[in-house]
Amino acid sequence: MNAHTARPARSIRTVLLAGTIMALLGVLGTAAWLSFEGSAEEAQELFDARLATSARVLEAFLARQVERSTLSSPIVITLPGQIESAGHDEPGPLGHYYETKIAFQVWDSDGNLLVRSASAPAQKFAPLAAGFSEQRFEQQPWRVFSLRSGQVWIQVAERDDVRSELSEKLAFAAVVPLIAGTVVLLVLLALLIGYGLAPLAKLAQQIEARQPGAETPIRLARTPAEIAPVLDALNGLLRRVRDALERERRFTADAAHELRTPLAALKVHAQNVARAATPAERQVSLERMLTGLDRTVRLTEQMLAYSRAAASSEPAQTKVPLRTLVAEAVEQLQSHIRERALRVDIASEPANELAEVSGDRQKLGSLVGNLLDNAVRYAPERSTIEVALRRTGDEVSLSVADEGRGIPPELRERVFESYYRMPGSAGSGSGLGLAIVKETAQTHGASVEISDARAGRGTRVVVRFRSELAPRTLY
Amino acid sequence: MRILLVEDDDLLAAGIRDTLERALYAVEWVDDGAHALAALQANSFDLVILDLGLPGLDGIEVLRRVRAGGAATPVLILSARDTAPDRVLGLDAGADDYLIKPFDVDELLARVRVLQRRQRGAAINVIEHGRLTLNPAALSVTFDGRPVALQRREFMLLQRLLQSPGQVLSRAQLEEAIYGWDGGIESNTVDVHIHKLRRKLYPEVIRTVRGIGYIADPPPSRLSA
């Protein structure tokens, strides 16, 4: 897709298939080995028993007769020529080629060879000791059984490859179905994994094809239980992103709209300056234009503050003393306070309480500044503005009260809307002050409440912070 | 020419007022819909400049009520609402014109003149009255082709009389045409200005209708036409 695509981790399909193959190989390998070992051992036991039986048969028919005889040369018992030269392992009418791989010898106690089969050498197969043993001659491993019968030793031997051929075949017969089953299983598994993962591919397609502003949540025809939580979380995120986008869009549209009137005023005054017929007219229009500029600057600052307050980012976590913020706000408004002969009373409880809350200093400063600005703006001349900081338990509250005309109860929710101005409050307000207060309070986990300052008169705004609680974010 | 300005932003209202007054219109300003309705009921205006986003009673509602009351006063909407549906809504509610904020002062004045002359049923701004020519855009008057220097209120009076030729206007109507609400009216101001106008132009230009007021008789050329 693009250069930023992360290098993918090993795919689920590969991991599952490789894991399954390795596990199967381990299990089957062990099974095959055990099967081989088991059948080889069983075959060994069977062959050993048969070897011993052969020795006893020889003993029964041969040993007694040769015991007392003296022979100038050993008797050699030959096999029919066809068998010796057959070279294949198909049984024939006379016997089997493998008979050449089976041999016997009969020795007397003095070490003279009495009888031997044609396939047996003239030397001893093994030292004359009773029981089974492994020997090598003619570059071949042999299994030898020695039996003493009176004065005679009977040795019967069988080439190992006869035996191992059987046990290999037995083991192979056991393993082949396992291997075939494994192959079938792997193919089935690959198909199943493909089917199981198909919803993921569908999901990826849907996300890829999605427009940023799309309204509908992502839906899959078949949502496996494992993907459902992912899908829910994804749709939740999409919804929040869309809401945030919508708020941004509305904010921009509102801002553009709200700027029209102050800009219209600026333009009218500027043109009036240009068209002025007398210096007096020019002076009047110029002063009005400057007032308009100040207001427009203030409006854009408030827009920025509101945009910041409403931003979903985690607020910075510093201890902010509200008392200091109040002092700063009063200082900022000093000229207006003096001009309108207002009195600002600041009370804290308990005394000297700094009323610290944790949060973003700039945003909290904007909250306090806007509360005081409103109070100063709407307070009648020569009245008193009361600011109270209070700590009770784990709550810190800031209360600002003025003696203005108050906010009627039915408008106490609406005044928090952005750009809402109360009827009759014509003029300089941006309509954003209380919206900034509300947004900032929300991101700091505080509540805002408007009431009468005194029964039926004035406005009191109280912001309550939970000092122990970490500020909450909107998201 | 008397204009009612309905605008809730005090600074913009002040600017529009400056503009209009400097163009020799009498302007009354109210900042909400309820006051606008009250003003329209109590006084007569030649034009209303109406903002739509008013606190309390919305501008469109004000307009509907004015039209429902049968008043035909021209209304020019001045609004930040700039979409086509907004403009259609305003015009359909009974507005004569629609201007979007921010606007050009010259355009506002031109549109005011259009509404003014439309009221007279004329296609051009300049008022020809016998040997007189009055140009509301240039604020100039000529008599037999020669420019005549008139005082502000003399011009406003003459314009008002020439706009309704052959119609008797009461002293009160003429006072309204030259004063805003704040202007202190002396009882004989209208008479003084009429006297000055007769002296600067010619005596017969304005005829006194005893006990009622004044009239600018239609010029003979018009009668014969």
pLDDT band of residue A341 (cuts 50, 70, 90) is: very high
User: Mean of the per-residue pLDDT values for chain A?
Assistant: 84
| Helix locations, A209-278, DSSP H | 228-275
Q: Residue B96 CB: number of other CB atoms within 10 A?
A: 18
Mean pLDDT check: name the lowest of A24-33, A439-448, B199-208. Answer: A24-33
Separation CA A389–CA A323 (nearest Å):
7
pTM of the predicted structure, to 2 decimals: 0.62
More confident residue, B204 or A290: A290
Mean pLDDT check: name the lowest of A303-317, A435-449, B9-23, B73-87. Answer: A303-317
pLDDT at B180: 63
Q: Which of B18, B25, B112 should be substituted to probe chain A, the one whose Cβ sees the most A Cβ atoms within 10 Å?
A: B18
pLDDT at B87: 93
pLDDT band of residue A473 (cuts 50, 70, 90) is: very low
**For B18, nearest residue in chain A (alpha carbons):** A272
pLDDT above 70 (res A467): no
**Nearest CA of chain A to the CA of B210: how many Å?**
38
- Single-letter code of the amino acid located at A333: L
pLDDT above 90 (res A349): no
Instruction: Give chain A's radius of gyration (CA, Å).
Output: 52
Q: Residue A421 CB: number of other CB atoms within 10 A?
A: 18
Instruction: Give chain B's radius of gyration (CA, Å).
Output: 18
Which residues from chain B sit within 8 angstroms of residue A266, using beta carbons?
102
| 3-state DSSP helix/strand/coil % of chain B, to nearest 5 | 45, 20, 35
**Nearest CA of chain A to the CA of B213: how many Å?**
33
Q: Strand, helix or coil at A86?
A: helix
pLDDT per residue as tens digits for the range A65-108: 776 666 677 888 887 777 777 777 778 787 877 777 888 888 88
Mean pLDDT of A177-201: 85
Separation CA A41–CA A48 (nearest Å):
10
pLDDT at B111: 94
The widest CA-to-CA distance across chain B, in whole angstroms, is 53
More confident residue, A292 or B223: A292
Contact residues, chain B to chain A, C-beta under 8 Å: 8-12, 14-16, 18-19, 22, 31-32, 53, 55-56, 80-82, 100-106
Is B160 in contact with B145 (CB distance < 8 Å)? no
pLDDT at B183: 56
Mean pLDDT check: name the lowest of A1-10, A350-359, B167-176. Answer: A1-10
b vs e for A302-313, b when ≥16 Cβ sit within 10 Å of the residue's Cβ? Answer: bbebbbbbbbee
pLDDT at A428: 63
- From first to last of its 225 residues, chain B has per-residue pLDDT tens of 889 999 988 899 999 999 999 998 999 999 889 999 999 988 889 999 999 988 878 899 999 999 998 888 999 999 988 889 999 999 999 999 999 999 999 999 999 999 988 887 777 778 888 888 998 888 889 988 889 888 888 898 898 898 888 889 888 888 887 776 555 566 678 888 889 888 888 888 888 888 888 998 887 654 443
Q: Which range, A42-46, A307-311, B211-215, is most confident? A: B211-215
Angstrom distances, CA of residue A233 to CA of A28, A228, B217: 42, 9, 83
Q: Which two tokens stand for residue B136?
A: 């509301």
Contacting residues for A259 by C-beta, under 8 A, at least 6 apart = A296, A299, A300
pLDDT above 50 (res A469): no
Mean pLDDT of A3-29: 77
The widest CA-to-CA distance across chain A, in whole angstroms, is 164
Is A126 in contact with A33 (CB distance < 8 Å)? no
pLDDT at B16: 96
Separation CA A362–CA A320 (nearest Å):
10
Tell me if chain B has a CB within 8 Å of the CB of A209: no
Mean pLDDT check: name the lowest of A145-154, A342-351, A424-433, B168-177. Answer: A424-433
pLDDT band of residue A1 (cuts 50, 70, 90) is: very low
Q: Are the beta carbons of A265 and B18 separated by less than 8 Å? A: no
pLDDT per residue as tens digits for the range B84-131: 999 999 999 999 999 999 999 999 999 999 998 888 777 777 888 888
Contacting residues for A437 by C-beta, under 8 A, at least 6 apart = A367, A370, A371, A416, A448, A461, A463
Which residues from chain A sit within 8 angstroms of residue B55, using beta carbons?
421-426
Q: Are the beta carbons of A427 and B9 separated by less than 8 Å? A: yes
Mean pLDDT check: name the lowest of A302-311, A393-402, B85-94. Answer: A302-311
pLDDT per residue as tens digits for the range A246-271: 888 888 888 888 899 899 999 999 99
Tell me if chain B has a CB within 8 Å of the CB of A263: yes
pLDDT at B187: 65
CA angle A112–A116–A122, rounded 5-degree value: 60
Cα B53 to the chain's mean position, in Å? Answer: 23
**Nearest CA of chain A to the CA of B105: how many Å?**
6
Mean pLDDT of A350-379: 89
Tell me if chain B has a CB within 8 Å of the CB of A283: no
Mean pLDDT of A218-234: 85
Angstrom distances, CA of residue B53 to CA of A378, A386, A420, B68: 22, 34, 11, 20
Q: Residue A259 CB: number of other CB atoms within 10 A?
A: 18
Q: Are the beta carbons of A268 and B19 separated by less than 8 Å? A: yes
Mean pLDDT of A405-418: 88
Contacting residues for B76 by C-beta, under 8 A, at least 6 apart = B47, B48, B49, B50, B95, B96, B97, B98, B99, B111, B112, B115
pLDDT band of residue A470 (cuts 50, 70, 90) is: very low
pLDDT above 90 (res A283): yes
Separation CA A473–CA B7 (nearest Å):
40
**Nearest CA of chain B to the CA of A199: how many Å?**
45
Q: Are the beta carbons of B105 and A291 separated by less than 8 Å? A: no
Q: Are the beta carbons of A261 and B9 separated by less than 8 Å? A: yes
% of chain A residues with pLDDT over 90 = 24
pLDDT at B222: 46
pLDDT at B6: 95
pLDDT at B223: 45
Mean pLDDT of A284-298: 93
